[in-house]
Copies of this chain bind each other. A is one copy, B any other.
């Protein structure tokens, strides 16, 4: 999976200048970042004043399987998307097969699943079934295309394990909301049970975010990873 930051305007000072307009009016924007900024950002996070975190923008380019994109695009507020289209272009034969470290076995009840490492045999079952089916599906896809069938029809046989690519633009608030739901972390006040594959994407985005806005990120961690 690929996660690239394409462009951004997102730094900790964006949060504090926006917050200070409440208490100081417009003069606030001329202030330099100061020692008080970390305190202010922590206060905003803790008491859930979310709007100052929205005056930021990050655009990511992401390559991930369709089943990940499906979960991703459920985030509606503060997110913008443009995705590769199976109607407009011929899709490439790139498919996802879980790595050897992917836990394959799920135990427990919905909402509280636990995952355990599979056996060697289980891993081979996954690898064999996926390789074969992926190949067959792409063969059928190409076969229909070569008979003159429209791309939007032929693609119906392609599995959700095929890769897609998309741009996603968010702000710090919508990103923190996403991270809170799509990662597991011991610091989290609320438990989440994301599928491992979207968590892998989220972890890459989290690194980018932590680098761009370290004070905001620190406050997010300190306050239980609950988006303000």
Contacts and interface: CB of A to CB of B under 8 A. Distances in A.
B82 A150 contact: no
A10 to B, nearest CB: 9
Interface string A111-140: 101010010011001100110111011001
Of A67, A74, A158, the most chain B CB neighbours within 10 A belong to: A67
Given A18-B167, A67-B86, A171-B80, A23 B149 contact: no
Contacts of A65: 156
A100 interface: no
A218 interface: no
Interface residues of A, number: 101
A165 interface: yes
A184 to B, nearest CB: 12
Contacts of A126: 144, 149, 153-154
Copies in the complex: 4
A207 interface: no
Of A7, A52, A57, A152, the most chain B CB neighbours within 10 A belong to: A57
A98 interface: yes
Contacts of A160: 66, 155-156, 158-160
Given A76-B76, A158-B160, A47 B115 contact: no
29 contacts: A2-B26, A18-B82, A22-B89, A25-B89, A26-B84, A26-B165, A47-B190, A47-B192, A51-B82, A52-B82, A55-B82, A57-B169, A57-B171, A70-B70, A73-B73, A76-B76, A77-B77, A98-B153, A106-B151, A113-B150, A118-B148, A122-B147, A125-B143, A125-B147, A126-B153, A132-B140, A133-B140, A137-B159, A157-B161
The 9 nearest A-B residue pairs measured at CB: A57-B57, A54-B80, A106-B150, A156-B161, A76-B76, A18-B82, A26-B165, A129-B140, A22-B85
Interface of A: 2, 6-9, 14, 17-19, 21-26, 29, 43, 46-48, 51-52, 54-57, 59, 61, 63, 65-67, 70, 73-74, 76-77, 79-89, 92, 96, 98, 102-106, 110-111, 113, 115, 118, 121-122, 125-126, 129-130, 132-134, 136-137, 140, 143-144, 147-161, 165-167, 169, 171, 180-181, 190-192, 195
